[in-house]
Homo-oligomer: A and B are copies of this chain.
Amino acid sequence: MRVAIIGLGRMGAGIARRLMRAGHEIVAFDVAKEAVAALAEHGAIAATSLEDAATKFEGQKVFWVMLPAGEITETTIAQLADLAAPGDILIDGGNSFYKDDIRRAKVLAEKDIAYVDVGTSGGVWGFDRGFSMMVGGPAEAVAVIDPILESLAPGMGAIERTAGRGDDADPRPEKGYLHAGPAGAGHFVKMVHNGIEYGMMAAFAEGFDILKAKASDKLPEDERFDLNLPDIAETWRRGSVVASWLLDLTADALARDHALDQFSGNVADSGEGRWTVEAAMEEAVPAYVLSAALFARYRSRMETTFGDKVLSAMRYGFGGHVEPK
């Protein structure tokens, strides 16, 4: 089927190319003309503007917006809404906040335009491995774009079936995509996915910290171990309970540089981690681990905190403790 991809960054371009490889027709638009040209060489129909992209359809138009969450996505969707006719489908495949989806879907529904949000996981590996997708929106619209979703998804691959899964279950999750519910549900599930991801990553980070520090000369000499972290990560990949894709990536990074010296340790965070904690608070659900994982990222980017100085000041106040600068 034909779909217009709006935004041809790493993710957008990967999606477009994977779809073309599967036989779909791509209308390609980006403000960067080189990005459009590059895709056109792969067979995409180049568009010079959103308006131009809209002209490339006869009948039902399907737009897949793949832009950074925030202002630019908001504006683009508003512009596309003006170009769309009743029955058209507008997909936000970026990392939007799910409440923005709910709001947009309501507005668009008044014009009979279907809004679909697709939370996409898979990063730079998606083109090869396929994209894991969590989709929100009206069932009819999701059915229309199912061929696209199936082509983008990883498929069953070599991963074993879940023994307990009945034959009457929805077949899509086994292929790596999900119709999660109405508009917003896709990004909500993707958001929690990322929250969990933060927590899992932090569990590995703390664990490897503990392994690494076991060689510290602050410990009694007969309790020190100089552990081989690349070998540990490699071992755990097979048969251990913590086997996971994140561990595979860690093993790879450690194998290349066991000290990870090329990395600064100034860890960025995106909206999803924060929104997950907000969602937990709205639901009054404890999120000790997911919040701690988020805070560790904040802390990683600070040399010291004012709060630490408040602690020092109190200790000086009650105990006369002077701490080393």
Contact = CB atoms under 8 A, between A and B. Distances in A.
B170 A231 contact: yes
Nearest to A129: B239
Interface string A177-195: 1101110110011001111
A107 to B, nearest CB: 13
Contact of A274 (B131, B189, B281, B309): B281
A122 B240 contact: yes
Nearest to A163: B252
Nearest to A237: B159
Contacts of A205: 305, 307-308, 310-311
B266 A324 contact: yes
Given A125-B239, A244-B246, 7 more contacts: A121-B240, A196-B206, A198-B203, A205-B307, A210-B287, A218-B283, A265-B308
A300 B291 contact: no
Contact of A238 (B130, B180, B284): B130
B193 A241 contact: yes
Interface residues of A, number: 159
A241 B290 CA distance: 15
Tell me the number of copies of this protein: 4
Instruction: Give the most central of A163, A284, A297, A320: most B CB within 10 Å.
Output: A284
30 contacts: A132-B236, A133-B235, A158-B158, A172-B231, A173-B230, A174-B238, A178-B232, A206-B289, A206-B290, A209-B287, A209-B305, A214-B279, A214-B283, A216-B283, A218-B284, A253-B316, A263-B323, A264-B304, A264-B309, A264-B325, A265-B304, A265-B305, A265-B306, A265-B308, A267-B311, A267-B312, A288-B291, A289-B289, A289-B293, A296-B308
Contact of A280 (B197, B206, B301): B206
B282 A298 contact: no
Nearest to A106: B222
Contacts of A292: 288-289, 292
Nearest to A253: B313
Contacts of A234: 162, 165, 169, 173-174, 178
Contacts of A60: none
Contact of A228 (B159, B180, B184): B180
A19 interface: no
Given A238-B176, A296-B308, A310-B250, A318 B125 contact: yes
A85 interface: no
A236 B244 CA distance: 12
A59 interface: no
B303 A253 contact: no
A212 B129 contact: no
Interface stretch (A48-56, A72-80, A139-147, A148-156): A148-156
